[in-house]
Chain A
Amino acid sequence: MSTVSETTHDGAVAVGAPAAPSADDGLSPAQLAAKYGLSVSGARPGLSEYTRQLWGRRHFINEFAKARTAAQYTQARLGQLWQVMTPLLNAAVYYLIFGLLIGTSKGIDNFIAYLVTGIFIFTFTQNSVLSGVRAVSGNLGLIRALHFPRASMPVAFTLMQLQQLMMSMFVLVAIVLMTGEVPDGSWVLMVPALFTQWIFNTGLAMIMARLGSKMTDLAQLMPFILRTWMYMSGVMYSIANLTAHAPHIVRILLDINPAAVYIDLMRFALIDSVTSAQLPPHVWASAVGWAVLVGVGGYIYFWKAEESYGRG
């Protein structure tokens, strides 16, 4: 017999004995579940309930992002210093090639600051997409072990990228100051520019997370798509200069590209020679529009498949 048992078990009585009549007899499992108010396990909650749950997990998301960032560098002797070193070395490489070796400026004043801004801002979106693709498929162990709104994963990974970008921004500001820019009122615009880009990236990461959870080949394909996107986003050249004689429709398409929009805004905020005349029309409207469209749309798109992420 079971030696330690605080509970009584009636099933033992039933074995081999004819079934005694009961009120629950003849009920199908679904009816039985309804009678005792049981709910379907793992069912997807409504959108507002889901949002509430996600908000309830904000400390976990924050702690997870912090821990993942810290874990990246624990094997390196310089540790967290690499968060600053990586963008610094990146900027140094671009300075070496474009500033010293090629000596190109392509008709742009303060080309180094212009180039480094473009690269850092595009890297933020690029890394959000890349980590988003693997946010669900790379964390199946966690997803199959514990209960939490799955959107926590892409949100946490984008938060990691935001934190990395903040480190890059210190480097960027130092470079911009060294190249002779003077801080002025327009620097405040960095905040709304970064905020809208962050919302946009989070939505994009959620879209990529859902796609990546079903299409495992996406992780291999993404670097090529992202490189194409980078070359179209005016990271290393000025879209305005290039498209001066291009057809109207091409100019509109290049100007409305969200990566170009966020890069333009950051350059406008930091670099004096980039004036509002060089910005495409309605640039703030596009920045906010992209953030709302992709942020909200990506969130709903991700939520729609919430219950299926554990299957892999």
Chain B
Amino acid sequence: MAVAEQQTVADAQPAAAGTRVPTVIVDDVHIVYTVYGAGTGKGSATAALARLVTRKSNPNIRRVHAVKGVTFTAYRGEAIGIIGSNGSGKSTILRAIAGLLPPESGKIYTDGQPSLLGVNAALMNDLTGSTNVVLGGLAMGMSQEEVRERYQGIVDFSGINEKGDFISLPMRTYSSGMAARLRFSIAAAKNHDVLMIDEALATGDRAFQKRSEERIRELRKEAGTVFLVSHNNNSIRDTCDRVVWLEKGELLMDGPTDDVIKAYESHSGK
């Protein structure tokens, strides 16, 4: 069944084709990382010199073939879950769709600019929460006015100030839960055409999880297409109606949530 389903997806989905507008087309994409410093580092200097002389390739530089020939098409109004074991290339394919990681071969076509939900990398732990709200907002491409308008909303949503004025403290003083809440609040403050979420659901305490699930539902309503990477099959069941299963960089199965998750669970022995 997996094979049949892959084929139907590859040839543009049939049923009610007149109303189906593709928003993301992934066409036979391969992604290769170059990793430096992968070797053991033993006897490096002399070994490196010997390599220079003999012109052998450096074993410290390794190429990791993270995604191998994945093809699928996403349509407007779909929420697609991406599942697979650790290191199967889920996050990599999201980054490639967002245009952040160029594919080695193959093409990715998108409608507008897909955005990855996450600002972790733009934030600085040494600075106060409020500086980070401004910095994160600007990093996501908001204008200064937008940031100013939404500042209070972001702080209130994160609930950082519920137990006192913590937003004016450096982020390194936050507990990991508080920091995760603030990060999610900043990231979720913006609306997106094609929205991609990388395991962002399981942050914070129970109350905050509920609030963030609600916010994701809102974002989904406004977004054309949603991608969700998660190891939590329940949150995938709750949010997605189609699931893509990647394993070792290859697309193993693509179809309705229940079918794919059932196959995935029997494969991983749950």
Contacts and interface: CB of A to CB of B under 8 A. Distances in A.
A131 to B, nearest CB: 16
Interface residues of A, number: 64
Given A22-B17, A311-B34, A70 B127 contact: yes
Size bracket of the B interface? 35 or more
Interface of B: 1, 4-5, 8-9, 11-18, 20-28, 33-34, 36, 71, 73, 75, 77-79, 95-102, 107-111, 113-116, 118-122, 124, 126-127, 131, 134-135, 138-141, 143-144, 170, 217, 220-221, 237-242, 255-259
B109 A40 contact: yes
Interface string A78-95: 000000000000000000
A303 to B, nearest CB: 15
B256 A63 contact: no
Decide if the interface of chain B is mainly helix, strand, loop or mixed. Answer: mixed
B246 to A, nearest CB: 17
B77 A25 contact: no
Contacts of B15: 10-11, 13-14, 17, 20, 22
A74 B20 CA distance: 53
Nearest to B198: A145
Given A11-B13, A11-B255, A312-B34, A4 B239 contact: yes
Summarize A's interface: helix, strand, loop or mixed.
Answer: loop
Contacts of B240: 2
A4 B101 CA distance: 32
Given A10-B15, A67-B135, A146-B119, A29 B27 contact: yes
Interface in A239-266: none
B113 A147 contact: yes
Interface in A1-41: 1-17, 19-27, 29-30, 32-33, 36-41
Contacts of B121: 139, 141-142, 144-146
Contacts of B111: 36-39
B141 A27 contact: no
A12 B17 CA distance: 13
Contact of A6 (B16, B21, B73, B221): B221
